[in-house]
Amino acid sequence: MPVAKPEKLPRHLAIIMDGNGRWAQERMLQRIVGHQKGVETVRNVVETCSVLGIGYLTLYAFSAENWLRPKTEVKALMALLKKYIRTETPRMMQNNIRFNVIGELTELPADVNQAVDEAVAKTAANNGMLLTLALSYGSRQEITRAAARLAADLAAGRITGDAINEELFSSYLYTPAIPAPDFLIRTSGEMRISNFLLWQIAYTELYFTDVRWPDFNKNELYKALNDYQARERRFGKTSEQLDTRR
Ligand code: FPP
């Protein structure tokens, strides 16, 4: 199934990758096996999006709340992340992908941070797709941190109160250089946002599928993108207003 209109792709695609654990449990396997399978999906989705010409891909890889999972699972996920970043950097170079991370990185183990820093530095001059992994990420934490930093700048006289608007506030988030997502996919049946990019998704088109993340193949991605292409984004306006703009 090809994408119907290559010219009408989301500029920024964000994905909540859910269902690794259930995929494994349904097969009487350990949850970590589901995460390992999930990494293969990540590889395929990253490659497909970059070839399609999507500008920004943001993946929710580890939430601020995921630290509460059993220690063994957290450890295994951190090891998988480090391995993924290390082994995929050459492929990112081949595909001209720039690597980026958002989240509370100080919480991450030192070896993961080191792998992140190396991949960010190595891919910094690439100008193809920007791949962002959300790691130890929580949107309320992000917004609170932005408010605190803005308050500090205000108190220090670096900004004035009347300069505060949406654009200025956005610049204090983790994502100042990234446009808002056009399309958000969540796999595995849950109909919630789970503290992901709350500010940024104000006008984002949402897509939910029952397919578990390890089973989210190229065909499923195309299906989602075709669904996006059939939508009309009105940003609060009427259809007629949009028609006259065309
Ligand atoms: C959700 O499945 C997935 C995660 C918590 C982490 C996502 C991680 C990966 C896809 C692998 C590592 C990531 C990268 C970028 C290499 P779940 O465990 O919440 O599934 P469940 O809801 O069925 O239990």
Residue type, 10: P
**Which positions are catalytic?**
18, 66
CA of residue 196 relative to chain centroid, distance = 8
Q: At what angle do helices 71-94 and 110-123 cross, to 10 degrees?
A: 10
CA 201, CA 210: separation in Å to the nearest integer? Answer: 21
Q: Could you tell me the distance, in angstroms and rounded to a whole number, from the CA of residue 31 to the centre of ligand 1? A: 9
Atom 6 of ligand 1, nearest CA residue: 61
What is the per-residue pLDDT for 243?
62
Ligand 1 close to Cβ of residue 22 (< 6 A):
yes
Say how many Å lie between the CA of residue 103 and the centre of ligand 1: 16
Cα distances (angstroms) measured from residue 185 to each of 19, 41, 73, 161: 13, 14, 24, 37
Centre of ligand 1 to C-alpha 191, Å, is 16
Q: Find out whether the beta carbon of 85 lies less than 6 Å from any atom of ligand 1.
A: no
CA of 66 to the centre of ligand 1 (A): 9
CB atoms within 10 A of CB 118: 14
pLDDT of residue 246: 41
Is residue 61 within 6 Å of ligand 1 at its C-beta?
yes
The stretches in the chain having pLDDT less than 50 are 244-246
The pLDDT value recorded for residue 132 is 98
- The alpha carbon of 61 and the centre of ligand 1 are apart by a number of angstroms equal to 6
Burial 64-87 (b: 16+ CB within 10 A, else e): bebeebeeeeeebbbebbbebbee
| Atom number of ligand 1 nearest to Cα 59 | 15
Q: Give the ligand 1 atom nearest the CA of 41.
A: 10
- Phi, psi dihedral angles at 189 (to 5 degrees): 90, -20
Atom 15 of ligand 1, residue of closest alpha carbon: 61
Name the closest-CA residue to atom 3, ligand 1: 18
Angle subtended at Cα 140 by Cα 138 and Cα 142, rounded to the nearest 5 degrees: 70
Instruction: Give the global pTM.
Output: 0.95
Domains present along the chain, CATH in parentheses: 6-138+180-229 (3.40.1180.10)
User: How far is residue 187 from each of residues 22, 193, 204, 206, measured CA to CA in Å?
Assistant: 12, 11, 16, 11
- CA–CA separation, 149 and 33 (whole Å): 40
Ligand 1 atom at minimum distance from 77 CA: 12
**DSSP E strands, the chain:** 12-16, 56-63, 98-102, 130-137, 183-186, 205-208
Q: How far apart are CA 22 and CA 42, in angstroms?
A: 17
Whether 59 is in the pocket of ligand 1, judged by its Cβ within 6 Å, is yes
CA angle 23, 27, 30 (to 5 degrees): 75
- Three-class DSSP category at 137: strand
Token look-up 């929580």 returns 138
> Where do runs of H (alpha helix) occur along 95-236?
110-123, 139-155, 166-170, 218-229
